[in-house]
């Protein structure tokens, strides 16, 4: 989803909802601390998920005292939602990088995205998966707010793949038996399952198998 993140990739400027009244001024140090916590949170949640993640290991990894954590985030859930929002922005940028690259045909763009993801999971020794996929597996134990944010994130990603599929359809690369929206949803359902199986097996074969199956199902013969 790219599902596999590097520390350097996480330095992004994700938009936040504007607050009423005069915006609170943050010093450079405060901004850096908050960003460090979010990056550390993303790295941990991509490996072990939300329920198993503890605040203390995250704080230790960035050298931030617990009191400072609660200055920025009132609870673990608030922190988790902020991490999810940051990952969503990070991954939307990753998808746009590949799926809007007009140097390649639409179908090639989707395949290049998948290849980059496979390379990432190998690079991180099959330890890091998709933060959203990890949270989805935990969804029965998460709040309604968390589940709503997860569904909105998937919807955002599905729209991007659907747009790429529409270009591929117009270019005569593919033929569809279902709607573009349903086909895009099927891609993400299968993708997340393939990511989990890849981590289980410590082999990219499930991801390769899924992508080959998906491409052959829609590609013009």
Task: Give me the CATH number covering residue 178.
Answer: 1.10.357.10
User: Are 89 and 15 a contacting pair, CB within 8 Å?
Assistant: yes
Q: Is residue 47 part of a domain?
A: yes
Domain that holds residue 77: 8-218
Report whether 62 contacts 21 (CB < 8 A): no
Query: Is 3 among the domain residues?
Result: no
| In-domain check, residue 1 | no
pLDDT tier for residue 53 given thresholds of 50, 70 and 90: confident
pTM, whole model, 2 decimals? 0.82
- Answer yes or no: is 158 within a domain: yes
**Ramachandran class of 211: left when φ > 0, alpha when ψ lies in -120 to 50, beta otherwise:** alpha
Read off the pLDDT of each residue in 45-62 and give the average, rounded to a whole number: 89
Q: Is residue 45 part of a domain?
A: yes
User: Is there a contact between 82 and 72 (Cβ–Cβ < 8 Å)?
Assistant: no
Total domains in the chain come to 1
Position 128 in a domain: yes
- 94-129 in b/e form (b: 16+ CB < 10 A) is bbeebbeeeeeebbebbbbbbeebbebbeebebebb
pLDDT digits (tens, 9 = 90+) for 152-204: 999 999 999 999 999 999 999 999 999 999 999 999 999 999 999 999 999 99
Q: Is residue 52 part of a domain?
A: yes
- 2 in a domain, yes or no? no
Confidence band (pLDDT; 50, 70, 90) for 128?
A: confident
């Amino acid at each position: 989803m790219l599902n596999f993140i590097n520390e350097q990739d996480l330095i992004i400027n994700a938009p936040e909802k504007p607050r009423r009244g005069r915006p609170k001024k943050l010093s450079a140090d405060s901004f850096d601390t908050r960003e460090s916590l979010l990056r550390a949170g993303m790295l941990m949640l991509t490996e072990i998920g939300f329920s198993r993640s503890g605040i203390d290991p995250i704080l230790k990894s960035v050298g931030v005292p617990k009191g400072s954590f609660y200055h920025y985030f009132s609870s673990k859930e608030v922190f988790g939602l902020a991490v999810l929002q940051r990952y969503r922005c990070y991954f939307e940028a990753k998808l746009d990088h590949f799926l809007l690259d007009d140097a390649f045909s639409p179908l090639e763009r989707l395949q290049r995205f998948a290849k980059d993801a496979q390379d990432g999971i190998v690079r991180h020794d099959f330890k890091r998966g998709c933060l959203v996929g990890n949270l989805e597996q935990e969804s029965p134990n998460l709040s309604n707010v968390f589940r709503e944010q997860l569904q909105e994130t998937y919807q955002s990603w599905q729209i991007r793949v659907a747009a790429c599929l529409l270009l591929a359809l117009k270019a005569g690369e593919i033929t569809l038996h279902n709607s573009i929206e349903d086909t895009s949803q099927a891609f993400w359902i299968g993708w997340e399952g393939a990511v989990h199986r890849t981590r289980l097996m410590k082999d990219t074969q499930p991801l390769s198998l899924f992508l080959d199956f998906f491409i052959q199902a829609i590609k013009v013969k």
